[in-house]
A and B are shown apart, each in its own frame.
Chain A
């Protein structure tokens, strides 16, 4: 492992970017759509209630699963790309 090389730094920056992007989506579906922005989504009906309610009780959980698998897939690929994966 080359802890101080230019590549290692690039790897870490790519990881941080990916985390940052994922956490924006994470916050948007839960704190955004499900809570703060719920009144704005009130016009979109879904099965007797509104889209915000769906995000609060189901949508956010499904998004979280997608986010983690996406992150795992991208990071495991980045590991290989930068040669920092485990043999």
Chain B
């Protein structure tokens, strides 16, 4: 069977399962649609959260980022997991007790203000839409490589599949589909990692292999990697960062942002009890950690494998000849994600760090610039091919990457559609809408959201990396602090909350736009995006944490200067703090 046939079988087979699940779990009521009827077991929910959370960014990009950055990229590992501690202790149980369908609904009720709800809807939509673009683009990359179609066709297939199971099943269909997707993605991620860890270290558990001895050299694998990459001018893999402050703030931004992302928060509304919401967060992190503990091993081993491929006889000897390059390099060259330019025309592939400090050695070896450009996003997808694993593993990776992208896309689309149908239409435009009408509105808004996301995925606005900063910055600076203060303070009133959200948001957006361009329009940046220009060395990616502080400070100051919330609101805050009488998530 050809590789193409195997890929079709794995991807087609997994899609068939998702659609069958959706038909089985069709949503009959708005409650089924928004919160899966409120009857999901915490372990099931934890698994669904895992799939919901682990997106194309976690599955496809993260290991590539770590491979390139080494220790410095640990911020992603800690940031994207540490947020669950905040969720479990500061938000999830209380929002579950509150027992409504959406995040803006809590903000609107707690701060007794339609305007607060509206601001929350806007923050939610901007954060979720920017996030969903990346998922659709990731699905496009995976499709174009494995199904050998152009990425637009791939994207349209992906959109149709998501459309069927999320529009039909709502949260109920999505929850059970996500459980299946979690299983597919974790198997797909782990199997190649186990093989590679066995090949390099003899240890079948990749997380332990990372700290084991490299078989070929007899050195610890991280030592070997440090040696190989410093030989060709790169920084040590385990080297410390220049600015601890920036790394701390970046990690904090990712943690707060994770806890404030609405598509993750609404998953906690689906469990029957407050106690289950707490367990759910723990199980979610267990399922997430299975991938996150493997990712750093995949990263370092893939980087070492790449170096060994290019320098088969060691870094002191000549690199590989272009004509002898392995098959996987040829295949990825077709997609344009690996590029080779023979700058010194010696027919060999020189891969090294083109920096002034390495200039002397490069000159001595007759190298005239780095010749191989490898896109970081292909690392996980190409991993089985780099390690010469059998064809079915490649098919599995294709199915896993798509599962990761589609499950997150579905969760985001649900968050967007519920904000539109429940918060905008039922909450302000037409409060007398029937349940049937609202369900129809939810399905239509989801269909529209899919069309918009597909369009943007096919024509990404050219700032894929920046939008991630934007999504986390917004969630960290606006939604998280407001939700937290709504639970832990009785004193914060409507004026304070709205002022806090707007100031946190304005501060964060301004800082990002100054360095990245206003509304990301090229050429409109006020300052070059380099460490020398950053205030106190804080990068625009890390500013969300400061934005959250601004939100807290403004909300406290304004609330204390204005009158305290009405008694019934203080009683509402009181009631979310105690689990008794939670009942199931319900509508008004």
Contacts and interface: CB of A to CB of B under 8 A. Distances in A.
A84 B278 CA distance: 15
Contacts of A53: 71, 74, 222, 238
Interface size class of B (residues with CB under 8 A): 35 or more
A30 B74 CA distance: 10
A85 B93 CA distance: 12
Interface string B564-588: 0000000100110111111000000
Nearest to A16: B488
A30 B251 contact: yes
Interface residues of A, number: 46
B456 interface: no
B581 A34 contact: no
Given A4-B574, A47-B211, A64 B82 contact: yes
A30 B212 CA distance: 23
B578 A68 contact: no
Contact of B248 (A31, A46, A58): A31
Contact of A72 (B226, B281, B577): B281
A86 B274 contact: yes
B222 A49 contact: yes
Contacts, number: 143
Contacts of A71: 88-89, 278
Name A's interface SS: helix
A84 B282 contact: no
A84 B578 contact: yes
Contact of B275 (A30, A31, A83, A86): A86
A44 to B, nearest CB: 13
Interface string A5-26: 0001001100100010011001
A48 B210 CA distance: 9
A15 B89 CA distance: 9
B81 A61 contact: yes
Contact of A57 (B74, B223, B273, B581): B74
A49 B236 CA distance: 11
B275 A85 contact: yes
B331 interface: no
B145 to A, nearest CB: 28
Interface string B246-268: 01100110000000000000000
A43 interface: no
Contacts of B220: 47-49
B213 to A, nearest CB: 8
B53 to A, nearest CB: 13
Interface string B223-258: 110100000000000101000100110011000000
Contacts of B89: 19, 22-23, 68, 71
Given A23-B89, A47-B212, A79 B275 contact: yes
18 contacts: A1-B581, A3-B578, A23-B85, A26-B82, A30-B82, A31-B252, A47-B221, A49-B211, A49-B222, A53-B222, A58-B296, A61-B78, A61-B292, A64-B285, A68-B278, A71-B89, A72-B282, A76-B275
Interface of B: 71, 74, 77-78, 81-82, 84-85, 88-90, 93, 207, 210-212, 219-224, 226, 238, 240, 244, 247-248, 251-252, 273-275, 278-279, 281-282, 285-286, 289, 292-293, 296, 571, 574-575, 577-582
Interface of A: 1, 3-4, 8, 11-12, 15, 19, 22-23, 26, 30-31, 34-36, 38-39, 46-50, 53-54, 56-58, 60-62, 64-65, 67-69, 71-72, 75-76, 79, 83-87
